[in-house]
Amino acid sequence: MQTIRANEQRIKELFTELVSIDSISFLERNMADRLNEILRKTGFEVMEDCAGELYGGNAGNVYGFLKGTVPGPATLFVAHMDTVQPGISKKAVFHKSGRITSDGSTILGSDDVAGIVEIIEGIRYVQEHNIPYGDVEILFPIAEELYDKGSKGFDFSNIKAKQAYVLDLSGHVGKAALRAPSIVSFKIEIRGKASHAGFAPEKGINAMALMAEGISKIRQGRIEDDTTLNIGLIRGGSMTNIVSENCVCEGEIRGYHHERVMELLGKINNVFQNVIENAQGQDKDAELFFSHEVNIKAYAVAENSTVVQKFCNACKKIGIEAELTETFGGSDNNVIVNKGIEGVVLSCGMNNAHSVNEYIELEDLIKGAELVGALISQE
């Protein structure tokens, strides 16, 4: 592939424009409309699904297909449209050092505007320099920040690509995460019996005390090298002079092995079942309600897989070193791999995401676009 630098000025302009578009989860309408317009002008056939309607959002996932200039396998590129808060009235500030930040009052939104810009500019790169390429598919999902709700609602049955690149990883361009964890959240509710804590405490069932007993029996933190467990929320009771009738706690388990995560979930349930059974007495029945949700499911892609080898070769083409790593966070790639498509998550250069200290280097935006071009090039 030709070693021509991507269009720096246009990258800056597109990044500035897309950052300025408010696109909070489930409120991606303006971003979806603009990306639809850009893709059509770039030669894509574009459609938008109804995924947003599943959750009360105002936009769907945007999908585009671009016919290649030469025969070759299709490649899917993915970057999500939504951002977290504070993300209203964002502004990209360019510094002389090459760093791009917000004005300090909001996030920057490089998560995941950077990925979107690099995909679009990578396509433009090969088109403008007459570099042959195969079929290209693009998916810009909604609501990735809410455990991939957009991609979960997308119909992958018509996707032609067997390999996918999701541009949604922190750090310098050239990193690829080959595995990511399952993230399972759980909720435990104990219903006891209210009673006056001064006049008749023995007539009550203290739900908060039972919850505390159960929590004390659960190991938290990094419980194994590749598994974490955390109980992060607890609430209950009504007044200081009332035996607490109700208590709720919520937590999550993360781990690279889905079966192990589900095994731990079952053990937590058993711990609380035993606490409740041991507390039962005459006319004093406590109740336990245990629920969970598999937010994302773990995946692992082999280092010798086609999608990884193509990535390593593309890095070599543009003169950067490939770094193969793993992530302990989720992305749309969790959904994609579990749909049977070979996929990895690529760094798009963002740093300190989800904070007002978020930043990206202009050079990473440029290299990211060149990397996308190299990935679809058939030279």
The boundaries of the domain holding residue 162 are: 8-180+299-376
pLDDT at 3 over 70: no
- Verify that 18 and 143 share a domain, yes or no: yes
- Verify that 224 and 174 share a domain, yes or no: no
Which pLDDT belongs to residue 117?
A: 99
Which pLDDT belongs to residue 331?
A: 98
Boundary (domain end) residue, out of 264, 296, 328: 296
CATH of residue 213's domain is: 3.30.70.360
- Verify that 227 and 169 share a domain, yes or no: no
- Verify that 168 and 230 share a domain, yes or no: no
Which pLDDT belongs to residue 2?
A: 54
- Verify that 281 and 199 share a domain, yes or no: yes
Per-residue pLDDT tens for 109-151?
A: 999 999 999 999 999 999 999 999 999 999 999 999 999 999 9
Per-residue pLDDT tens for 323-360?
A: 999 999 999 999 999 999 999 999 999 999 999 999 99
Can you tell me the distance from the alpha carbon of 242 to that of 200, in angstroms, rounded to the nearest whole number?
10
User: Is 327 inside any structural domain?
Assistant: yes
User: Is 136 inside any structural domain?
Assistant: yes
- Residues in CB range of 239: below 8 A, 6 or more apart: none
- Verify that 109 and 54 share a domain, yes or no: yes
> HSE on the CB side for 195, CA within 13 Å?
14
Which pLDDT belongs to residue 186?
A: 99
Boundary (domain end) residue, out of 296, 315, 343: 296
CATH of residue 158's domain is: 3.40.630.10
User: Is 290 inside any structural domain?
Assistant: yes
Which pLDDT belongs to residue 230?
A: 98
pLDDT grade for 1, boundaries at 50, 70 and 90: low
Q: In what order do the strands lie in the sheet with 323-325?
A: 45-48, 62-66, 136-140, 75-78, 163-169, 342-347, 175-177, 323-325
Per-residue pLDDT tens for 43-78?
A: 999 999 999 999 999 999 999 999 999 998 999 999
Provide the annotated active-site residues: 82, 144
The CA-based diameter of the chain, rounded to the nearest angstrom, is 85
In the chain, the percentage of residues whose pLDDT exceeds 90 is: 95
Per-residue pLDDT tens for 252-273?
A: 999 999 999 999 999 999 999 9
pLDDT at 244 over 90: yes
Total tally of structural domains belonging to the chain: 2
- Verify that 169 and 31 share a domain, yes or no: yes
- Verify that 141 and 264 share a domain, yes or no: no
- Verify that 173 and 191 share a domain, yes or no: no
- Verify that 261 and 215 share a domain, yes or no: yes
- Verify that 193 and 327 share a domain, yes or no: no
User: Is 1 inside any structural domain?
Assistant: no
User: Is 339 inside any structural domain?
Assistant: yes
User: Is 131 inside any structural domain?
Assistant: yes
User: Is 3 inside any structural domain?
Assistant: no
- Verify that 173 and 102 share a domain, yes or no: yes
pLDDT grade for 281, boundaries at 50, 70 and 90: low
Q: How high does pLDDT run on average in the chain?
A: 96
Per-residue pLDDT tens for 162-187?
A: 999 999 999 999 999 999 999 999 99
User: Is 2 inside any structural domain?
Assistant: no
Boundary (domain end) residue, out of 270, 296, 322: 296
